[in-house]
Amino acid sequence: MFGAATWGIIWYPFRLLAQAGIDGVWSTLITYGLGLAFAVIAFPRIAASLLRAPPLAYVMALTIGWSNLAYVLGVLQGEVMRVLLLFYLAPLWTVPLARLILHERLDARGLAVMAIAFAGAMIMLWHPAIGVPWPASRAEWLGVGAGFCFALGNVLVRKLDQMDDVSKSIAILAGVTVIAMIHVPLSSMDGAQALSAARTQLPVVLGIGVALIGMGLSLQYGLSRLPANRAIVILLFELVVAAIAAYLLAGEVMRPQDWLGGALIVVATVLPARDSSRGTSP
C-alpha cells in the first residue's frame, strides 16, 4: 500500500522540479542517482555483489529503468490519469510476455484479459478528430511504452527469483540512472544549469530520493511475500491516490470515456486476481 501510494503521488514533486526549470530527463537522473547513492552507502556489500549479477538482471534493470523515465516524462507532458491508466495496460502485455519468457500457458482467461485491456485502451484513446483510436500525443505514447516495459520488467523479476529484495531495488535504481544518462544529450539544458536549479529545490530533490528508496524496498518486500492475486489488487490503490492528487493538485478532470476505458483496464488487472483467488480457496 505504501509503495503504491507513493508511486501515485510522486509525479507531483517531479512537476515542481519542472516548474523550477529542471526537465524530466535531468530531474530523473538527479533524483534516482541520489537514491542510488543513498542505497549504495546503506548496502555497500549488496551493491558490490551486483557486479556479479546474471546478465538478465541488467536487462531487467534497464527495462524498468526506461519504464520509470517514460512514466516521469509522460506525467510531465500530459494528463496524469490518462498516462497512468495507459501505464496500467500491463495485463495486455504480461500475458504474451509470460508465454514467451516464462512458458506459461495462454488460456481463454488470458485472452479475455487481453481483450478487456485492449478495449479499455481503445475507448480512452478515441479522438473524433482523428477517427481511429490511436495515441494522440507523446505523453500517451510514453504511457503505453512505460506500461509495456513495466510488464516486461515484472516478468523478468519473476525469472530472477534468486536475487533478494535489496539487490533488485538497487539494480532498478541503477537502471533508471543509466537510462536517464543515455537520454541527457536529448535534453535542452546542460549539467551546470540542471545542478544549479536543483540546488534551489534541494528539499524536493532529497525528498524524492528518500521516497524512491522507501518505495522500491517496500514494493520489493511486499511483492515477494504476497500472493500475486493480492499484490495486483493492492497496487491498484495507486490509481485512487493518483486520481485524488491529480484533481486536488493539478485540477485535472477526466472525461466520461476515460472513466469507462480506465474501468475496463482496472477490470483486466483485477479479473485474473479474482479467478486465482477462487482457484486457491480451501
Q: What is the pTM of this model?
A: 0.82
Cell reading at 124: 480512452
pLDDT tens-digit map of 118-151: 788 778 777 666 555 567 789 989 988 998 998 8
pLDDT score of 281: 34
Q: What is the pLDDT of residue 274?
A: 56
Q: What is the pLDDT of residue 160?
A: 84
Confidence at residue 182, expressed as pLDDT on a 0 to 100 scale: 95
pLDDT at 128: 67
For 36-77, the DSSP string reads HHHHHHH-HHHHHHGGGS-HHHHHHHHHHHHHHHHHHHHHHH
Residue among 33, 60, 120 at smallest CA distance from 84? 120
Find cell 535542452 and name the residue. Answer: 188
How far is it, in rounded angstroms, from Cα 192 to Cα 186? 15
Task: Give the residue ranges of the chain where pLDDT is below 50.
Answer: 276-282
Side chain identity, residue 162: Q
Residue 187 is predicted with a pLDDT of 87
Pick from 80, 127, 133: nearest CA to 239 = 80
CB-CB neighbours of 35 under 10 Å: 27
